[in-house]
Amino acid sequence: MEVETKPLDYPPLTDDLEEAKNHLDEYGVCIVKDAFSPEEVDVIDKRLKEQFAGEEKHKVGTKSRGDEGYGVKSSNEEKVSRLVWNLINKGDCFIPLIDHPKLFPLINHIIGEHVVLCSMGAHMNGSGNERMPLHMDQWPLVPHPLDFPVMANTMVLVTDNSPENGGTRLIPGSHKWPKIDYKTANSSKYQDMAKSITAPKGSAIVWEGRVWHGNGLNRSGEVRSNISIAYLQSWIRPQENSQYSVREGVLEKLTEKQKEVLGFSPFGTLGGHDGSSVSRAEFDRNRESIGILKG
């Protein structure tokens, strides 16, 4: 039986908090106007460009073409996009983004008062990229599709977003759809429903974890930079934080399987450091977490 899945148009930009909350309820998405001043955006943009160049120079961090989620392999030259992960380590300008006064209340509106940061990373999508699979942030990583949101995401637009430069593509209204599987969601019918957003730099998109979305095709000749700040409800973590608490002498006695059960191995894109890199038990935050780099 065909399920009822109709997209809505994007809601208009708003700088009114209550209106933004209403948009989130109806569309699963809102677009916050002027969340950042032009000066703030300039500082962030400059730092991201330097970091991009530094990670290129030192050959660290994550590069992609975009379509890796389909299992497609690409050469280094085709990997035109850089994911600059763990921005908390990469400049003081990113620290206010953790609980930004214009955006954090919207996250609280979606998933409640108690939240933890899932990741903060820049999606610097290069021209010539490919589309990533449409996905919901909270599924398929959460193996059982839930009919309530446990994740919420923010995209801070550091450059203007448009269909030409691969603005983020979302399907407003899809948070209320009945379950469709990942393969169906990536058929041309649904791909065509996900349109690149058009919004100026300084604005921010907020969406809940059940909205189908992905990146757009960038053919502009310029890099499109958005910062994703993703959150989870606070309960989605273990009671004991073994990565801090297990003593070194004990670690040596553990098998790889036991370390995995204690949370030392990533699962999908979760639980790594600097994106999805493997966090080994011996991980040394001072040596291995990427800090501020310049080209």
Ligand X SMILES: O=C(O)CCC(=O)C(=O)O
- Binding segment (CB under 6 A) for ligand X, from list 91-99, 172-180, 207-215, 250-258: 207-215
With binding defined as CB under 6 A, does residue 154 bind ligand X? no
Q: Which residue has the tokens 């030259």?
A: 77
Among 5, 51, 86, 168, binds ligand X (CB under 6 A): 168
With binding defined as CB under 6 A, does residue 220 bind ligand X? no
With binding defined as CB under 6 A, does residue 214 bind ligand X? yes
Instruction: Reduce the DSSP state of residue 210 to 3 states and report it.
Output: coil
- CB of 63 vs ligand X, minimal distance in Å: 14
Length of the chain: 295
- CB of 248 vs ligand X, minimal distance in Å: 35
Among 100, 123, 201, 273, binds ligand X (CB under 6 A): 123
With binding defined as CB under 6 A, does residue 64 bind ligand X? no
With binding defined as CB under 6 A, does residue 213 bind ligand X? yes
Nearest to 137 by CA among 15, 63, 75, 228: 228
Q: Residue 218 is encoded by which pair of tokens?
A: 């960038």
Query: What is the amino acid identity at position 30?
Result: C
- CB of 213 vs ligand X, minimal distance in Å: 5
**Count of residues interacting with ligand X (CB under 6 A):** 9
- CB of 137 vs ligand X, minimal distance in Å: 6
With binding defined as CB under 6 A, does residue 201 bind ligand X? no
Burial 19-33 (b: 16+ CB within 10 A, else e): ebbebbeebbbbbbb
DSSP state letters, 232-265: EETTSS-SS-HHHHS-HHHHTT--HHHHHHTT-S
Q: CA–CA separation, 276 vs 5, rounded Å?
A: 32
Cβ 7 vs Cβ 175: under 8 Å:
no
Whichever of 228 and 233 has its CB closer to ligand X, that residue is: 228
With binding defined as CB under 6 A, does residue 65 bind ligand X? no
205 backbone dihedrals φ, ψ, rounded to 5°: -100, 135
- CB of 175 vs ligand X, minimal distance in Å: 14
User: Own/partner pairs for 242-250, CB < 8 Å, 24+ apart?
Assistant: 243/279, 243/283, 246/281
Cβ 233 vs Cβ 64: under 8 Å:
no
With binding defined as CB under 6 A, does residue 125 bind ligand X? yes
With binding defined as CB under 6 A, does residue 274 bind ligand X? no
With binding defined as CB under 6 A, does residue 55 bind ligand X? no
With binding defined as CB under 6 A, does residue 277 bind ligand X? no
- CB of 253 vs ligand X, minimal distance in Å: 38
Strands 81-84 and 62-64: antiparallel
State the residues that interact with ligand X by CB under 6 A: 123, 125, 137, 168, 213-215, 226, 228
